[in-house]
């Protein structure tokens, strides 16, 4: 395994752990005390300030904030910003496991988008895999209308919002690959957080002036915001590391591993349950990704090699 593939593996596994178990838990805790729009603005704005203080002197702002990077800022703000906003609203209306199961579709969604916008190849097999994954996720979303499945699947409202946000996140990953080839991970971190700050600012102003929920200090809020700032920067950095070192559809495999970490955290800390419908949805979603990416039955080492496209 060469250095690039190893770093890609670190990025995939690290992003899966943070995105599946840590981030959803912190977001759920923080938004229970603070309006999601204000919570998101605090996390991305503070992250941006910290990044500029730590690394600002190493970069020329005119080189980052130019017309060439404008499409990246726009798609990041809209795609990732949409995901950030909808997820923070939806996480209190669904389970950790269900929220991450929906993101299993990210690898096949990015593969389809990469074919349209980054000229990556797509085959009938990939399209078939996408349809199977989509069926698995739709089973979860539709079945979550049932009150009997609430403790396992969450609510239809929450899962629908997360599904839309997943599409936005897939668009962010796809376009990041196009622009981060000639940029460092830190540069992509700064641009991503800057775009998110711009996206979240008007939403935070709306929540501040037009809702009855106003910010106040409490230790749970402080701990959640501090934790989410550190974890978010690490998550974005690891995601960008994976994107930089691996093909975009392969880098997106962190989303395939996230449900396992989410299941561990959800069952242990939130007493969530695994229902037959949830298991069926997970199996279909993952099987669709396996078909889409041409995986076959192999031992654990071979699976990891295929996952990271490692060649001898």
- DSSP code at position 184: -
User: How far is it, in rounded angstroms, from Cα 197 to Cα 219?
Assistant: 24
Least confident of 118-127, 223-232, 292-301: 292-301
CB count within 10 Å of CB 202 equals 11
- DSSP code at position 252: T
Measured between alpha carbons, how far is residue 165 from residues 120, 134, 161 in Å? 23, 15, 6
pLDDT for position 249: 57
pLDDT for position 298: 42
The fraction of the chain above a pLDDT of 70, given in percent, is 85
pTM greater than the 0.85 cutoff: no
Which among 167, 31, 51 has a CA at the least distance from the CA of 110?
Answer: 167
What integer is the mean pLDDT of 132-147?
88
Contact 109, 167 (CB under 8 A): yes
The fraction of the chain above a pLDDT of 90, given in percent, is 19
pLDDT for position 36: 93
pLDDT for position 312: 36
Contact 162, 104 (CB under 8 A): no
For 64-101, the pLDDT digits (tens) are: 677 777 887 888 889 999 999 999 999 999 999 899 88
pLDDT for position 163: 93
User: How far is it, in rounded angstroms, from Cα 152 to Cα 82?
Assistant: 25
What integer is the mean pLDDT of 176-185?
72
Least confident of 1-5, 197-201, 202-206: 1-5
Q: Which residue has the tokens 């609510």?
A: 155
What confidence category does residue 180 fall into, taking pLDDT thresholds of 50, 70 and 90? low
Least confident of 13-22, 41-50, 65-74, 252-261: 252-261
pLDDT for position 126: 78
What integer is the mean pLDDT of 106-120?
79
Residue 304 has pLDDT above 70, yes or no: no
Residue 238 has pLDDT above 90, yes or no: no
For 32-71, the pLDDT digits (tens) are: 888 999 999 998 999 889 888 888 777 666 666 777 778 8
Q: Where are the domains of the chain?
A: 3-307
Classified as helix, coil or strand, 159 is: helix
């Amino acid at each position: 395994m060469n250095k690039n593939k190893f770093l890609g593996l670190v990025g995939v596994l690290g992003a899966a752990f943070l995105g599946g178990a840590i981030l959803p838990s912190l977001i759920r805790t923080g938004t229970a005390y603070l309006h999601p729009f204000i919570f998101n603005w605090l996390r991305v704005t503070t992250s941006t300030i910290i990044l500029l203080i730590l690394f600002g002197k190493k970069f020329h702002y005119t080189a980052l904030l130019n017309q060439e990077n404008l499409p990246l800022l726009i798609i990041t703000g809209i795609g990732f910003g949409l995901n950030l906003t909808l997820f923070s609203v939806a996480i209190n209306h669904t389970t950790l496991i269900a929220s991450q199961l929906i993101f299993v579709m990210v690898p096949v969604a990015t593969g389809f988008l990469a074919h349209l916008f980054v000229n990556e190849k797509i085959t009938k097999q990939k399209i078939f895999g996408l349809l199977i994954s989509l069926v698995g996720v739709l089973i979860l979303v539709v079945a979550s209308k049932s009150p009997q499945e609430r403790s396992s699947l969450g609510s239809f409202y929450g899962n629908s919002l997360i599904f839309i946000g997943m599409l936005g996140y897939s668009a962010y990953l796809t376009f990041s690959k196009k622009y981060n080839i000639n940029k460092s991970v830190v540069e992509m971190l700064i641009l991503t957080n800057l775009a998110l700050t711009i996206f979240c600012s008007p939403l935070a102003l709306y929540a501040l002036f037009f809702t009855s929920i106003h910010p106040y200090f409490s230790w749970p809020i402080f701990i959640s915001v501090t934790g989410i700032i550190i974890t978010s920067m690490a998550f974005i950095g690891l995601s960008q590391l994976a994107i930089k070192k691996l093909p975009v559809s392969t880098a997106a495999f962190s989303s395939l591993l996230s449900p396992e970490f989410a299941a561990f955290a959800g069952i242990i800390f939130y007493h969530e349950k695994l229902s037959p419908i949830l298991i069926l949805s997970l199996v279909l979603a993952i099987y669709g990704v396996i078909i889409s990416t041409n995986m076959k039955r192999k031992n654990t080492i071979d699976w990891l090699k295929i996952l990271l496209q490692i060649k001898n």
